[in-house]
Amino acid sequence: GESVGLHLPTLSVQEGDNSIINCAYSNSASDYFIWYKQESGKGPQFIIDIRSNMDKRQGQRVTVLLNKTVKHLSLQIAATQPGDSAVYFCAETPNTGGFKTIFGAGTRLFVKA
Amino acid sequence: GAGVSQSPSNKVTEKGKDVELRCDPISGHTALYWYRQSLGQGLEFLIYFQGNSAPDKSGLPSDRFSAERTGGSVSTLTIQRTQQEDSAVYLCASSSRQGAEAFFGQGTRLTVV
């Protein structure tokens, strides 16, 4: 469903560890998924995307996994750094209904030095 | 610039006054979104414009909120008779058709006193 201003869950990790942020999406017609990173005082910015014909995509230190069977998306950040501290949003875009992108509720990642 | 531009960046208004927030999307982007974000919370969808289609207004919280998009480009979000609970950051984003990556502006921080 659509985010309605829920209080953000927080994930706290030690610097250097790997982080995994999870997201459950709602629409089985969604075929395009994006992870965004929002730093304090800024708008969300694109990190990585994946289409529904894939189940894994890798970027620099980040990997997105897609499980269409259970409608689950995850973002893995390798060797987490203090600069990774931010709020992370998943987003889905269905291939119907005007292609409106729907954002998840977001997860706050806090990296401990 | 080449990005999404929002103005003003900050707005302080008295309760009961009307405000207009402006968004200049990336040239050529047919999709435009408005979101609201309260402190420490997720993105609350407000309205979505896609090309010449009727806008999806399903997220507007009350009839005090309205938005228009002129000539398929600039958009204005208007809040009439502002209330203190309207205080938030209002984010605009645009994307090309077919649900590509959304590019966000820096937002307008609205404070109603």
Residue A2: pLDDT over 50: no
Pick from A7, A98, A100: CB nearest B41:
A7
- At residue B99, the pLDDT reads 64
Where are any strands of DSSP class E within B14-79? Answer: 19-24, 31-37, 44-50, 65-69, 75-79
Task: Reply yes or no on whether the pLDDT at A99 is more than 90.
Answer: no
What is the tens place of the pLDDT at every residue in B6-50?
A: 999 999 999 999 999 999 999 999 999 999 999 888 899 999 998
Q: How would you class B93 by CB atoms within 10 Å of its CB: exposed for 0-12, middle for 13-18, buried for 19 or more?
A: buried
Interface residues on B facing A, Cβ-Cβ cutoff 8 A: 4, 31, 33, 35-38, 40-45, 48, 50, 53, 56, 59, 91, 93, 95, 97-107
How sure is the predictor about A14, in pLDDT bands with cuts at 50, 70 and 90?
Answer: very high
**Token duo for residue A78:** 């390798």
pLDDT bracket for residue A1 (50, 70, 90): very low
Q: Strand A10-14 vs strand A107-112: parallel, antiparallel, or unpaired?
A: parallel
CA distance B38 to A106: 13
Query: Both tokens of residue B63?
Result: 């009839």
Residue A44: asked if its preceding bond is cis (omega within 30°), the reply is no
Q: Which residues of B touch A99 (CB under 8 A)?
A: 31, 50, 97-99
pLDDT at position B1 is 54
Instruction: Specify the pLDDT at position B71.
Output: 83
Reported as a single tens digit per residue, the pLDDT across B61-109 is: 999 999 999 887 999 999 999 999 999 999 999 998 656 789 999 999 9
Residue A35, class by beta-carbon neighbours within 10 Å (0-12 exposed, 13-18 middle, 19+ buried)?
Answer: buried
Q: How far is A29 from chain B (nearest CA, A)?
A: 13
Nearest-by-Cβ selection for B44 from A5, A32, A101: A5
Kindly state the average pLDDT of the residues A32-57.
Answer: 94
pLDDT at A98 over 80: no
Average pLDDT of the residues in A79-86: 97
pLDDT at A95: 77
pLDDT of the residue at A97: 64
> d(Cα A33, Cα A39) in Å, to the nearest integer?
20
pLDDT at A30: 87
Q: Flag whether pLDDT at A7 surpasses 70.
A: no
How far is C-alpha A79 from the geometric centre of its chain's CA atoms? 17
Rounded to an integer, the average pLDDT of A50-75 is: 95
| Gap between the Cα atoms of B98 and B107, Å rounded | 24
User: What's the mean per-residue pLDDT of chain A?
Assistant: 90
**Phi, then psi, of B95 in degrees rounded to 5:** -155, 160
Distance, in Å, from the CA atom of A85 to the CA atom of A11, rounded to the nearest integer, reads 10
Q: Determine which of A80-84, A99-103, B67-71 has the lowest per-residue pLDDT on average.
A: A99-103
